[in-house]
Amino acid sequence: MKSSTVKLIVTVLAVIFTGPYCTLAEEEETFSASLDVGAFSKYVWRGWQYSEDSVVIQPSLTAAYKWFSINLWENIDTDNKITDDPEYNETDVTVSYDTSIGDYDFGIGYVYYNIDDADDCEEFFASICVSKCPVLPTLTIYREVADAQGWYLNLGISHSFPVMGVITLDLAGSAGYYYSDDNDFVEVDNHLNPTDKRYKSLHDGLISLGLTIPINNYLTLIPMMAYSFPLVDNADDLITYDNREAGLECDSSYFFGGATLSISF
């Protein structure tokens, strides 16, 4: 499950899935493609962890023409805690359209999440970014229309600093909010018991730093590290409960890191 803009361009937050930060939506007159392969210490998406004590491999293939793009993304857990075997456990497809008007970048799209041992999910999303602002404030709104229907809002900022030649230091942060329309997506009390109240709360925070290291005209290496945490007690209780129910450690905050190798064509 992820992020944006959801998983379309490799940024410092490509691991999570759907990153909420804008990129300049300059029109490309020719077809372009990229193949990205990431390896990370943990798979984290919107505050939830989907792996434990294993390396996850996340290959991603993107094809684009002008302002349209399509992305195929997979997650491979090299030591699944439940099966104790390597497992392809998620495949996502994202279709998007991005454009610019004045100082603003706009995007719309659709994401299909195919998840093993769980109901598939479908989201539509729209984003706006102030592209002329140094910290690139970006608001992305997601609407889940299949399983656990509801809204997810993510506000992010990011900035890159040149550190040596073409190498940049990339800093990013984001905050998310959930608004559930589903009676099965509910709050959890501080004793980790589900309630009958739909979950409507500030949810997850994410901060990260990384390096973008161009190797040549086609290859780029992006090492990164990040910290994910709940923004409020409601989120802490829900994330802890869900992790416990999934047979994972009852944590709600995580440090994780890894690297992505991006090949552009």
Query: Which is nearest to 121 in space by CA: 2, 245, 19?
Result: 2
Query: Which is nearest to 264 in space by CA: 222, 212, 216, 218?
Result: 218
Domains of the chain with CATH codes: 31-260 (2.40.160.40)
Distance from the Cα of residue 54 to its chain's centroid? 19
For residues 119-133, average pLDDT: 96
> Is a pLDDT exceeding 70 seen at residue 4?
no
**Long-range residue pairs from 127-135, CB within 8 A, at least 24 positions apart, any chain:** 127/4, 127/5, 127/20, 127/22, 128/104, 129/21, 129/22, 129/104, 129/105, 130/103, 130/104, 131/22, 131/24, 131/25, 131/100, 131/103, 131/104, 131/105, 132/103, 133/103, 134/159, 135/159
pLDDT in tens, 45-68: 999 999 988 999 999 999 999 999
What pLDDT is stored for residue 6 in this prediction? Answer: 36
Residue 14 pLDDT class (50, 70, 90 cuts): very low
pTM for this model (two decimals): 0.89
> Max alpha carbon distance in the chain (Å)?
56
224, 259 contact by CB (below 8 A): yes
d(CA 244, CA 101): 45
What pLDDT is stored for residue 42 in this prediction? Answer: 95
215: number of Cβ within 10 Å: 12
